Amino acid sequence: MKTGKLPHKLLAEMLSKVNLDERVLIGPGIGIDAAVIDYGERLLVAKTDPITFATDLIGWYAVNVNANDIAVMGAEPKWFMATILLPQGTEEESVRGLFDQITSACEELGISLVGGHTEITYDLNRPVIVGCMLGETDRAYLVTASGARVGDDILVTKGIAVEGTSILAREAGDRLRKMGFTDEFLSRAANYLFDPGISVIPDARIATANAHVHAMHDPTEGGLATGLMEIAEASGLGLEVRLEAIPVLPETQSLCRELNLDPLGLIASGSLVLTCDSADTPRLLDAFGQEGIRASVIGKMMPKEHGLEMLTPKGLVDLPSFPRDEIARYFSE
């Protein structure tokens, strides 16, 4: 198989064999961002995610990406653990820098680093971090990717492929300079990590405070298109989105055009995808605007038989599918 997520069909086959105890309220599934376990008055929300594409600021990525998947469940990320695998020959200074990234990211988000594992291992050509984030929420605030309803508006915050844009600028800078991209351009693109930023915690808090949100999702590998597909699959619905309504930031547009990448399939942490009743949409858009967060209505949830479709200037087409992320395709070719 090629780099990227496992095919949904294979993953679903394996997950169908999983047995869960009665305290597991939400277990593993396609499009499900985190597990939820009954802890009495509070719910424990748990997530694990690796960082494999990035090497620059990998510790900072690990904390934020895992925290996002807790936040989109309507929970507060609280405790973080990290398994850190490093190549032979890694310098002590690099290890210190990586730990500084993790601890500073945790401090920014009010998260405690509570444990993990570190190891120098063979046959690695770059560091790999597998993060595990725990959070908690009240039952009334729990949101999942499986709660979308027919007629819901689909909203996206910021712009798509924020993370992918930053990774390209940080990991392929020399190659991009040879193609004619300026240092000023690459600096702006690299800074997408912080502005508009890959954290969706503020976005999720605003959403749950100002609307009856039915579903939230943090689109990562496979980009927005895969994230939308996962919401539809988890909810048992179809959807229709408008291509021209999908926000693509300027540096993302330029990189994707020159590198022959489709922004719809480019790793997309930094954008919150949510569905809500259309009656709540104006209030929610206003709330995002007051906090300086761009938000766009890109489509609607539809009955399952409608399928997954996208309205383009040439008419209605199937939503594109990306068996592997566009960034994985770029770095492997």
Model pLDDT, residue 188 = 97
**Rounded to an integer, what distance in angstroms lies between the CA atom of residue 197 and that of residue 206?**
16
- Identical topology for domains 8-141 and 153-332: no
Q: Which residues neighbour 181 within 8 Å (Cβ) at sequence distance 6 or greater?
A: 254, 255, 258
Residue 225, both tokens:
């298109």
pLDDT band at 176 (very low <50, low <70, confident <90, very high): very high
> Global pTM?
0.90
Domain 153-332 belongs to what topology? Answer: Phosphoribosyl-aminoimidazole Synthetase; Chain A, domain 2 (3.90.650)
Name residue, tokens 């890959």.
Answer: 198
Cβ atoms of residues 56 and 170 within 8 Å: yes
Q: For 185-210, what is each residue's pLDDT tens digit?
A: 999 999 999 999 999 999 999 999 99
**DSSP secondary-structure letter at 7?**
P
Query: Is the pLDDT at 16 greater than 90, yes or no?
Result: no
CATH number of 8-141: 3.30.1330.10
Q: State mean pLDDT over 307-316.
A: 95
Distance CA 25, CA 76 (A): 17
Going by DSSP bridges, is the β-strand pair 238-242/295-302 parallel, antiparallel, or unpaired? antiparallel
pLDDT, tens digit, 9 for 90 and up, residues 273-306: 999 999 999 999 999 999 999 999 999 999 999 9
| Domain boundaries, given as residue ranges, for the chain | 8-141, 153-332
pLDDT digits over 47-93, tens only? 999 988 767 889 998 999 999 999 999 999 999 999 999 999 999 99
